[in-house]
Amino acid sequence: MSERTVQVTVNGVPHEASVEARRTLTDFIREDLRLTGTHVGCEHGVCGACTVLLDGEAVRACLLLAVQVDGREIRTIEGLATGEQLHPLQEALRDCHSFQCGFCTPGFVMTAVALLEEGATPNEEELREELSGNLCRCTGYQSIVAGVAEAVQRVNGSGGTAGSSVGSDAQRVEEISR
Amino acid sequence: MKPAAFEHHAAGSVEEAVSLLAELADEDVKVLAGGQSLVPLLALRLASVGHLVDVNGVAELTSISNGDGLRFGAVVRHRQVERSPEVAAANPLLAAAVRRIGHTAIRNRGTIGGTVAHADPAAEIPAVLALLDGSVEVRGVDGTRSIAAAELFDGYFTTTLEPEELLTSVHVPALPAGTGWSVQQFSRRSGDYGIVTVLATLARDGDGRISAARVAYAGVDAVPLRSSVAETALVGQTASPELWTAVGHDAAAVLEPSSDLNGSAEYRRHLAATLTARALQQASERAGGRA
C-alpha cells in the first residue's frame, strides 16, 4: 500500500511522518508521534477517550484518518500544562478529585477544554449533555461534572451553575479535600 | 479494530470527485465525508473499501444558502447547521433535530450530506427531509439531477443514488410562518440514535381548527416514514389532548417496526403513540405565535 507524507502541528510543534491511508489519527498520534496521553478505548467513536482538538474543535481521533489532518493543527492532553503549571481545568479537576483510574481522563479533559475556550457557561443539565459523549466506568460521573463545573466557574465566571447542586458538590468535595 | 488497507483520494472539486467515482467504479469506491458512520464501519470491518474519495476539502460543498428554503452543501457540518442563525430563523425544527445527532465531537465532523446518503433508518435529517418534502441534488459524470425525499430512501442504509453519483446538496424547505413544530425522541442514553423519533408540524386557521399537519417517524421502518393516517385525521379538527392521544394511537397502530436489542416492535409502537401525542401537543402550543 502506498504511503503518504503528513505534515501536522501538534501542541505547537510541527511534525512530519509517512503513513498508510488507513492509519487513524489516534494511532498516528500514539504510535508515530509517541504522544501516548491520548487514549484508545473503543476505536469506533463511542467512548470519547481519544478526543483531541482539531483546529480548536473537539473531535474523535479514532474517526479521522491521519491523511485527513495534513496541514492542520492538533492539540492533545500533553499540550495543556505549561511546564509544571497545570491548566486551570486540570487544577479544578484535581481539586474535585474528578477521576479514578484515569483511562477516560484525556478525552473528558479535551472535551471540557473546548467547552471552556468557547467561553461557555452551561448549567448542570447542559454540562451533563456536553459531557455525555465521553464514557467513564469508575466514577459515576458526579465528580467529573463537579470538576468541570468548578473550572467553568473559575475560568468563565459563575454562569449558569450558581446555586445548582453541581456547585455545592464541588464545594463539598473541596472542603473534604482540605 | 483497524480498517483494512485502502487508497485515499483527496478530491479538490465536485468535478474531480465525480470523475474519481466513475474511474474507480469497479474497485469498491466510497465517498468519505465526515466519516462518523463510515469510519466505524471500516474499523469494525463491517465494510471494506478499495478506495475512499474524500470530499472534505471540496470548498464548493461547505456553504449554507437561504432563499427558496435552506440549501446545504453536502459537507456542511452538523455543528454549522446547529449554530446557524439563518437555520434557526427559517427552520427551527431542523435546528432542534440536528442537536439530537450524537455528541458535540460527532457534530463537529458529521455532515448533512453524509447522514442523508448513509440513510440510517433511525437518523434525524432523513426524517426531516421526509417530513418537509425536502430533496437532494446529485452529480454524476452525465450531469446533475434532483431527487425528492419520497424517492430517495430505498431501504435500510440504501438510497436511489447511483454508485457513481455524488450527493452535492440538501434542500430543506422553510417552515411557513405561524407553523408549530416539535421533535420528540426517545433514546436510552443522550446522544444515542433514537429508538423512535417523531417529528410534527401543525398550523391552525382563524377559527382554531387545524389547517395543515405533517407527522414523520424515524426508527420504525427501513426508511423514514410519513404518517398519512395522522395527517388525515388531524386536518379540520380542533386541538385537544384527546385528539393528540387518539391520533397517536391510530398512527402507531399501522406501523410495522422490527424488533431488535433496543426494543421490540410492540415497544416501538408504544413509543410512537406516546411521542406522537407529545409532538402534536407541543406543535399545537407553538402554532400561531412562533415560540
pLDDT of residue B3: 95
With bands split at pLDDT 50, 70 and 90, how would you rate the model's confidence at A176? low
Q: Could you tell me where the DSSP H helices lie in chain A?
A: 25-27, 88-95, 105-117, 124-131, 142-156, 165-177
Q: In B, which residues are within 8 Å of A64 by CB distance? A: 35, 39, 109
Residue-wise over A62-74: b if at least 16 C-beta within 10 A, else e?
Answer: bbbbbbbbbeeeb
Alpha-carbon distances of B151 from A6, B50, B158, B224, rounded to whole Å:
41, 29, 11, 11
Residues 6+ apart with CB under 8 A from B124: B97, B98, B100, B101, B115, B183, B185, B194, B197, B218
| C-alpha to C-alpha distance for B75 and A71, rounded to whole angstroms | 19
Residues in a beta bridge with B211:
none
Q: Does the pLDDT of residue A162 top 90, yes or no?
A: no
With bands split at pLDDT 50, 70 and 90, how would you rate the model's confidence at A2? confident
Distance from CA of A21 to the nearest CA of B (A): 6
Task: List the domains of chain A with CATH numbers.
Answer: 3-79 (3.10.20.30), 88-175 (1.10.150.120)
Residue-wise over B204-218: b if at least 16 C-beta within 10 A, else e?
Answer: beeeeebbebbbbbb
| C-alpha to C-alpha distance for B113 and B61, rounded to whole angstroms | 9
Task: List the domains of chain B with CATH numbers.
Answer: 7-54 (3.30.43.10), 64-172 (3.30.465.10), 180-290 (3.30.390.50)
The mean-pLDDT minimum among A56-65, A153-162, B65-74 falls in A153-162
Taking the CA atoms of residue B29, residue B31, residue B32 and residue B34 in that order, the dihedral angle to the nearest 10 degrees is -160
User: How large is the ipTM?
Assistant: 0.92
Q: Residue B143 is placed in which grid cell?
A: 450531469
Residues in a beta bridge with B204:
B210
Q: Residue B287 is placed in which grid cell?
A: 402554532
| C-alpha to C-alpha distance for B131 and B225, rounded to whole angstroms | 8
Mutate to test the interface with A, among B103, B111, B193 (most CBs of A within 10 A): B103
CB pair distance less than 8 Å for B104 and A114: yes
With bands split at pLDDT 50, 70 and 90, how would you rate the model's confidence at B136? very high
Q: In B, which residues are within 8 Å of A27 by CB distance? A: 2
* A82-95 pLDDT per residue, tens: 999 999 999 999 99
Q: In A, which residues are within 8 Å of B35 by CB distance? A: 63-65, 68
**DSSP 3-state assignment of A143?**
helix
| Average pLDDT rounded to a whole number, residues A37-63 | 97
**Among A1, A68, A111, beta carbon nearest to B105:** A111
Contact by Cβ (8 Å): B52, B39: no
* B241-257 pLDDT per residue, tens: 999 999 999 999 999 99
**Among B1, B3, B104, beta carbon nearest to A58:** B104
| C-alpha to C-alpha distance for A147 and A88, rounded to whole angstroms | 11
Q: Does the pLDDT of residue B1 top 60, yes or no?
A: yes
The answer to whether B69 faces chain A, any CB pair under 8 Å, is no
Its pTM stands at 0.93
| C-alpha to C-alpha distance for B231 and B63, rounded to whole angstroms | 34
**Among A22, A63, A132, beta carbon nearest to B191:** A132
